[in-house]
Structure 1
């Protein structure tokens, strides 16, 4: 049975705001229980999680924001965007919400790199994570090809490419990474596009692409954090994603043999929208495993999922 969606117009009415280094950040929070931080990908926003939002909120306290430069949050033009700053933002949001217990993370794509930095900080004693589940995330910089649109945005003419980027370019990019039977419909495409153009977002698309270079720059730090013991890790991967394919998953298995990995046949780059029911099932199964490094009360919920 498919999960109910939350229309974007409703999602936006539930947003709250806080200031991060002088910039307005839109965020959402719901549910009770252990804190679960949801990190979205590029170039979309936290609305990506809307199919999973209600069922996950029955077990966990959910926290999600549109990261700086994304969705309905501020998108300053004269700004050097960084994955490290996005990790700072997540910690600032948790502090704003006065969350001082171990945080579990569910991250997709770009958000996966932010999660890797938070994981590195956990091992340095500067953050406290309970577990981390990645969805189609480029955890190994050397294994993930770039789309043509990404290459153009990274070029010296990236600023011009970004300003010329239109709805049809978004449609083309998504069609290359989503499974054939799960392409967003026209209404969803309109919504995704509205989130990108909010606050004149196409002016900064080329600046956001700096994350590609950061993945290479911090590769040893972030892969080293994945290989350290102490935080339960999982990976749910759509098998048809050209950016994160089955051979990449095999490389993950070699480097991260203790990671809980699931491959979803017939699913592309956005498993949480293409196959939300499967993602929910696998994520809850992952969380229902006792986490040896945490007290049992803080490691898993005993509340029923509900209907």
Structure 2
């Protein structure tokens, strides 16, 4: 005669914890979700065993995650910030956006693409009313084989010379300032006037800021301009262009820097160029080449 225990699976033990828990997800209908849940279970249990997590440390971890969720709102996503400082956001981006040799590398979207950029004419000044070092951006959008891409849409946004985006100072900075949506000309070119951006800290008034402080890590990002480039038949590109020589290029708090994205912002003494583009002379000029991969 069989006993009740003959019909039960293995009990929960320290040694078999991952196997027992993962088996509870065997009935998950979605195969990919099932794989994620079971593999996550194995990795989490292995981590807990590897470091010998104590009850007190577990409780502190739960409190930290609870506080992280409580800090999120319509304009603040503390969990993404947490993912950023652990390098997970950049890793997911790298896996998701593998591109062929020669295409511009991607990086994270960032937390401040939360409003629609205003449509602007080529050559327009996106930094009207801002202080800072005037800067001319001369850009092209092309394919990997070198062909210019006309009518590509280039979305641009950046911080001011104090490291703030428009949405961070809604009472004093007009919406859409230091943002622009441009369309490339028949030669695949675009250009606009702006200011040289400044490095800035990620938000530190929440649990992630506390974590960085405890770890003796700084919260700063190097100076950069965000770009999204899109064109028919091409994969959308989300990237940054980093200012060469900026502080924190080798220690970006969210690990967003790639060597190929560092660009020289040079001071150029050229009266003809300055007059042509409506810039003071001398002025800072950056040349940017956005290379899009074909849709697969």
Q: Which protein has the bigger strand share?
A: 2
Alignment TM-score, normalising by the size of structure 2? 0.24
Q: Which protein has the bigger helix share?
A: 1
Bigger radius of gyration among the two = 2
Alignment TM-score, normalising by the size of structure 1? 0.23
